[in-house]
Amino acid sequence: MYAIAFDMNISSLEKHYGKPYNNAYYEIASELEKYNFYRIQGSTYVTDNKDMGNLILAIDALAYIEWFANAVRDIRVFRIEDWSDLTQVVKIKSTKKTFIN
């Protein structure tokens, strides 16, 4: 499992993509979906594909998008070895405090 996380410079995005700049995020998602990446939160995308070649192809696809290359502030990739979704643990509402050791 691999992840791609990035941060965009909004003023650069407005300059190179145009307005409304938030449409750029839909285009990014659409491009990454071609490589089986899906958004989990913010600008973080993951794939269950364990092939690093697929990850490189996804990054290459983003690199060829001129406005993306001009506006990306930071982009990181990493392998996810263990994955736990703790959303429900955080959302549990209780009248008593429960401590997990």
CATH of the domain at 85: 3.30.70.240
Is position 97 within any domain?
no
CA neighbor of 32 nearest in space, from 17, 47, 48, 53: 47
Is position 66 within any domain?
yes
Predicted TM-score (pTM) of the model is 0.81
Is position 75 within any domain?
yes
Cα 101 to Cα 96: distance, rounded to the nearest angstrom = 16
Residue type, 64: Y
Task: Look at residue 36 and tell me whether its pLDDT is greater than 50.
Answer: yes
**Predicted confidence band of residue 95 (pLDDT cuts 50, 70, 90):** very low
Is position 101 within any domain?
no
Is position 18 within any domain?
yes
Residue 5 pairs with which residues in a beta bridge?
Answer: 44, 76
Cα 89 to Cα 86: distance, rounded to the nearest angstrom = 5
| Structural domains in the chain (count) | 1
Query: Can you give the residue range of the structural domain that contains 45?
Result: 2-91
Reported as half-sphere exposure (CB side, CA atoms, 13 A), residue 34 has a value of 12
| pLDDT tens readout for residues 39-91 | 999 999 999 999 999 999 999 999 999 999 999 999 999 998 887 877 787 77
Phi, psi of 45 (to 5 degrees): -125, 145
| pLDDT tens readout for residues 11-33 | 999 999 989 999 999 999 999 99
Helix (H) or strand (E) holding 13: helix 10-16
